[in-house]
């Protein structure tokens, strides 16, 4: 059931995201920048909130007038700032909702990746607490409605000695002290929210917390346009002598408020409890089969730290050497953080398939899919290639080519393949060309697999693809599981292109110096340099 919902949602996201990739470019696709946009909107809310606070009178009598004053007499700056504050808060809710759905759809919430999902739950509560206390402060008719419904909701819980709704049903009962408490909450809760947002991304390496400049400017321009077109206004002074009727509701922050009348407070709490429990339990229901974490083989680790730099999940740290080899550090894996994507295997300078030893060992390896097996699979698959234009496909298990049968070797992530594997395939005449087929560029399942692969091929990131490897013999295809047809068309075109090419003249053995660098012979780790 959950699986069916997930795959339906995934299809939905795929159908929207790929046209967005073309419209905005993969780098600027807002759906691939939801977390970063969340931080961006948070900062806009924070800055505009500080600005508004300068004008705001925190006393109950003067609060409404002060907001009116800054909206009407100061609309040019404070009014726009007020609209920024409100609309950026609304956008934050939209972003959180879409972000949550997307992370669920792409299955980024289970197994070892539970942490970011789980910490998203307090984020939702704190975000709503911030928004609701914010509506309270304006002290207009909507604020009165919010105050009344919220306090009735809270009174339903057996926590307060005296009912707090009493404060809002008659004139003269609401104290400035209570109002000041709301002001304090509206400042303190977002600060705590920021702290949890920081915790939320602790287990992610290089999290995208700033959207690309062009996207940030576009969002600012859109916010400004809406703020001028429909400035945020109050809905008339609160009057405790009258029950507020027909207030305009912010459906993003207050969707449950009308339900308190329809369902009753108990049912609304039951709904909130069930929703929170569902979010909290989802990472473990149904469980994800966990592949075993990578293991470090110290006799092949020279402490270069490339694996630690490339791991997308902060699962590797460099620690002091323990085995007496003359390197200051060694890699250490935290198995509870490792998703077994294999990206670190592709980063390790010891991961070179040229080595002649039968038991190909590397510095860091997946126990269930070691580099040795990958080399064997590549060699076995290559023997099945025939005719003109022999193309071997290295496919990510989450991308469009994962289901191919012929000429394809599937990996947990294409960045698991060290660039030397491509050199190996072409120089050993295992194929005329290699296709590297990963996830869609803006939706890499393992966050950084596509990026690292591209940078390694462009010789911008170690270990890079050596200059001697002809780039016209390699094709990269970034396509989601929904784009099987496009991937097939591109692979077929590449096969045809390879068929038209003369035989590749790289089949000579590696020069002695290169052989030494890539570890052609089995030498101890200290003899290897960072190639």
| Residues engaged in binding ligand HEM (CB under 6 A) | 35-36, 38-39, 96, 99-100, 103, 108-109, 113, 116-117, 120-121, 123-124, 197, 200-201, 204, 207-209, 279, 447
Nearer to ligand SF4, 80 or 338 (CB): 338
Rounded Cα–Cα distance for residues 192 and 159 (Å): 22
Q: Which of ligand HEM, ligand SF4, none interacts with 381 (beta carbon under 5 to 8 A by kind)?
A: none
- Contacting residue, 244, 303, 407, 418, with ligand SF4 by CB under 6 A: 303
Rounded Cα–Cα distance for residues 456 and 394 (Å): 15
Task: Please identify, among the stretches 224-232, 271-279, 312-320, 466-474, the one whose residues bind ligand SF4 according to the rule CB under 6 A.
Answer: 312-320
- Tell me if residue 243 falls in helix, strand or coil: coil
Whether cis (ω within 30° of 0) applies to the bond prior to 102 is no
Q: Is the sign of the CA dihedral 243, 248, 254, 258 positive or negative?
A: positive
Minimum Å gap between C-beta 375 and ligand SF4 is 17
For residue 4, with 0-12 CB atoms within 10 Å meaning exposed, 13-18 middle and 19 or more buried, which class applies?
Answer: exposed
Nearer to ligand SF4, 146 or 364 (CB): 364
Closest CA to 446 of 171, 107, 13, 151: 107
Rounded Cα–Cα distance for residues 345 and 517 (Å): 17
Q: Are 148 and 168 within 8 A, CB to CB? A: yes
Work out whether 417 is an interface residue with ligand SF4 (CB under 6 A): no
Rounded Cα–Cα distance for residues 404 and 416 (Å): 18
Q: Which of ligand HEM, ligand SF4, none interacts with 305 (beta carbon under 5 to 8 A by kind)?
A: ligand SF4
Q: Residue 291 gets which letter from DSSP?
A: P
Nearer to ligand HEM, 121 or 148 (CB): 121
Minimum Å gap between C-beta 331 and ligand SF4 is 4
Q: Which of ligand HEM, ligand SF4, none interacts with 44 (beta carbon under 5 to 8 A by kind)?
A: none
First to last CA, the chain: 49
Binding mask 316-335 for ligand SF4 (x = CB under 6 A): x--------------x-x--
Minimum Å gap between C-beta 41 and ligand HEM is 8
Residue nearest to ligand SF4 (CB): 363
Rounded Cα–Cα distance for residues 330 and 313 (Å): 18
- Contacting residue, 348, 378, 474, 475, with ligand SF4 by CB under 6 A: 348
Question: Which element (helix H / strand E) includes 493?
Answer: helix 484-499
Q: Are 468 and 3 within 8 A, CB to CB? A: no
Binding mask 361-400 for ligand SF4 (x = CB under 6 A): --xx------------------------------------
Q: What is the dihedral of CA 439, 444, 445, 451, to 10 degrees?
A: 110
Q: Which of ligand HEM, ligand SF4, none interacts with 204 (beta carbon under 5 to 8 A by kind)?
A: ligand HEM
Nearer to ligand HEM, 215 or 487 (CB): 215
Q: Which of ligand SF4, ligand HEM, none interacts with 36 (beta carbon under 5 to 8 A by kind)?
A: ligand HEM
Question: Residues for the chain: how many in total?
Answer: 531
Rounded Cα–Cα distance for residues 519 and 512 (Å): 10
Minimum Å gap between C-beta 39 and ligand SF4 is 23
Closest CA to 346 of 266, 446, 250, 278: 446
Q: Which of ligand SF4, ligand HEM, none interacts with 99 (beta carbon under 5 to 8 A by kind)?
A: ligand HEM
Minimum Å gap between C-beta 114 and ligand HEM is 8
Binding positions for ligand SF4, rule: CB under 6 A:
293-294, 296, 301-307, 311, 313, 315-316, 331, 333, 338-344, 347-350, 363-364
């Amino acid at each position: 059931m959950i699986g069916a919902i997930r795959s339906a949602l995934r299809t939905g996201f795929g159908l929207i995201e790929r046209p967005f990739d073309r419209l905005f470019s993969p780098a600027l696709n807002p759906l691939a920048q939801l977390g970063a946009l969340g931080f961006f909107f948070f900062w806009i809310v924070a800055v505009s909130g500080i600005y508004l606070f300068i004008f705001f009178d925190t006393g109950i009598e003067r609060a409404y007038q002060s907001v009116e004053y800054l909206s009407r007499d100061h609309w040019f700056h404070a009014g726009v700032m007020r609209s920024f504050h409100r609309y950026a808060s609304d956008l934050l809710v939209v972003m959180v909702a879409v972000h949550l759905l997307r992370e669920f759809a792409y299955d980024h919430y289970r197994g070892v990746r539970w942490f970011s999902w789980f910490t998203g739950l307090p984020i939702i509560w704190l975000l709503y607490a911030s928004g609701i206390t914010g509506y309270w402060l304006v002290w207009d008719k909507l604020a009165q409605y919010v105050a009344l419904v919220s306090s009735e909701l809270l009174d339903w819980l057996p926590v307060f000695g005296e009912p707090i709704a009493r404060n809002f049903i008659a004139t003269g009962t609401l104290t400035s002290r209570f109002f000041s408490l709301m002001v304090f909450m509206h400042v303190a809760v977002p600060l705590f929210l920021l702290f949890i947002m920081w915790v939320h991304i602790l287990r992610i390496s290089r999290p995208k917390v700033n959207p690309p400049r062009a996207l940030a400017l576009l969002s600012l321009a859109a916010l400004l346009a809406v703020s001028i077109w429909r400035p945020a206004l109050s809905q008339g002074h609160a009057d405790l002598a009258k029950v507020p009727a027909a207030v305009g509701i912010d459906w993003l922050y207050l969707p449950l408020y009308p339900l308190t009348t329809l369902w009753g407070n108990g049912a609304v709490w039951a709904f909130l409890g069930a929703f929170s429990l569902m979010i909290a339990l989802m990472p473990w229901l149904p469980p994800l089969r966990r592949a075993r974490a990578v293991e470090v083989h110290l006799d092949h680790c020279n402490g270069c730290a490339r694996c630690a730099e490339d791991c997308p999940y902060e699962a590797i740290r460099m620690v002091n050497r323990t085995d007496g080899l003359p390197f200051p550090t060694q890699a250490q894996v935290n198995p509870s953080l490792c998703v077994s994507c294999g990206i670190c295997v592709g980063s390790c300078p010891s991961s070179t398939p040229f080595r002649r030893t039968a038991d190909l060992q590397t510095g860091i390896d997946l126990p269930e899919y070691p580099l040795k097996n990958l080399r064997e699979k590549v060699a076995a698959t290559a023997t099945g290639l025939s005719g003109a234009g022999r193309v071997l496909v290295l496919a990510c298990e989450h991308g469009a080519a994962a289901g191919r049968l012929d000429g394809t070797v599937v990996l947990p992530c294409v960045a698991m393949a060290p660039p030397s594997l491509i050199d190996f395939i072409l120089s050993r005449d295992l194929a005329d060309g290699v296709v590297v087929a990963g996830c869609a560029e803006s939706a890499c399942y393992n966050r950084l697999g596509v990026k690292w692969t591209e940078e390694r091929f462009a010789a911008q990131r170690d270990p890079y693809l050596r200059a001697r490897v002809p780039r016209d013999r390699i094709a990269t295809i970034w396509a989601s599981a929904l784009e099987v047809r496009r991937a097939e068309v591109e692979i077929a075109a590449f096969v045809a292109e390879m068929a038209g090419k003369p035989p590749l003249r790289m089949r000579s053995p590696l020069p002695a110096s290169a052989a030494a660098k890539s570890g052609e012979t089995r030498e101890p780790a200290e003899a290897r340099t960072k190639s």
